[in-house]
Structure 1
Amino acid sequence: MGLIERLMTMAFGGSRNVVKETAEVFRENAEAAGARRSVLQGQTLEQFAAEFGAGRTWFDAAMDGLNRLPRPLLAFGTLGLFVAAMVNPIWFASRMQGIALVPDPLWWLMGAIVSFYFGARHQIKSQEFQRSVAATMAQVPQVVANTKQLEALAPRPPADSGHDARLSLSVTEAGDNAALSEWRLSRQ
């Protein structure tokens, strides 16, 4: 017994586990990794709270408001141009003649600014769309299974009678059912 006890003490130690410590060299301890992730997430949330939660000034609110203006202004401005063209075509045509004089490099610059501004939003929306498509595609096996179950519950048509109309009518017409007739009589 003394030899086995010494071997176990050497392998697992008095207060340490040599096997566990050796295994952790090759594979991360899941419990310790979860604790580290939890601490990291808590610290990240604390940093965000310190950065965004406290000390919001009027300037921050004004900048947030200004950042929300370009998209609606461009959309309503474009609709306004259509209304202006219908209400006062001569005024609209004279303004469009002025726009025709804008040099091409300025149009390119305007296009680049608008593209960068809206491109970031488009990328975010397209990534959200791809995530929703992936989530929908993940539901396909369940939908197929549900559809098969529903189709199994659907009433079956009578036997195929081909092109024989008399046979089709005889199959679909209600005939005498002795059990049903007896039941009806017992209910009266």
Structure 2
Amino acid sequence: MGVIRQILRLVLGNGRNVVRDTVEVFRENAEAGAQRGAEAQAQAMAQFAAEFAQSQPSRFDRFIDGVNRLPRPMMALGTLGLFVAAMVDPLWFAERMQGIALVPEPLWWLLGVVVSFYFGARHHRKNQEFRRDMAITMARAPEVMNNLDRLRDMRAVEPAAANLPMQDNPALEDWRARRGR
């Protein structure tokens, strides 16, 4: 018994686990890593909360938010305006299109990049919102399935409810009489 105790003391140390301490030199302790990650996440969230803790956005923030909302409606309304202009005054429209034909190709590429980044960022944000909404919906799936099962059970328990005599319905009887039933 004494030899086994000596070996265990050598391996496990006095209240310490030598094997664990040795392994942690080569591989991170998953629990400690998760703890550090949670602390870092909490600190980042606290920093973000401190940044956006203003109770009311400033006038400048409201102005910039308003400016950021302009490009999509302006592009949509501008495109519709071009269609209306082409129908109302075709010569005026043709003159403007001749001017657009003179825009150099690199400028078109630049416009494409700007529009792609603008709408790409919006698409990415909407995609993230869609994924979040899908996760919420999928989390509710068991509840929906349970409700469907309960509804099906109700149908199976009370089938006689469908065979109850109907009250007199003169319109229905008149319709049946006209159809010859």
The answer to whether the superposition gives a TM-score over 0.5 is: yes
CA distance in 1, matches of 2:68, 2:121: 17
1:79, distance to aligned residue in structure 2 (A): 0.7
| Cross-structure match for 1:82 | 83
Pick which of 46-55 and 61-70 moved more.
46-55
| Cross-structure match for 1:71 | 72
Tell me which structure has the larger Cα radius of gyration.
Answer: 1
| Cross-structure match for 1:163 | none
Query: Aligned in 2, Cα 1:61/1:38: closer, same or farther, shift over 3 Å?
Result: same
Task: Say whether residues 1:117 and 2:118 are aligned partners.
Answer: no
Residue identity opposite 1:59 in structure 2: F
CA distance in 1, matches of 2:51, 2:94: 47
| Cross-structure match for 1:47 | 47
| Cross-structure match for 2:31 | 31
Residue identity opposite 2:91 in structure 1: A
Residue identity opposite 1:113 in structure 2: L
| Cross-structure match for 1:56 | 57
| Cross-structure match for 2:19 | 19
Gaps of 5+ in 1: 136-188
CA distance in 2, matches of 1:62, 1:81: 28
Query: Is contact 2:86-2:93 (8 Å) kept?
Result: no
CA distance in 2, matches of 1:70, 1:8: 72
Number of residue-to-residue matches in the alignment: 128
Normalised by the length of structure 1, the TM-score is 0.55
Residue 97 of structure 1 aligns to a residue whose secondary structure is helix
| Cross-structure match for 1:94 | 92
CA distance in 2, matches of 1:93, 1:12: 92
Pick which of 64-73 and 111-120 moved more.
111-120
Residue identity opposite 1:94 in structure 2: W
Query: Aligned in 2, Cα 1:17/1:33: closer, same or farther, shift over 3 Å?
Result: same
Residue identity opposite 1:29 in structure 2: N
Q: CA RMSD in A?
A: 3.1
Q: Percent identity?
A: 39
1:95, distance to aligned residue in structure 2 (A): 4.9
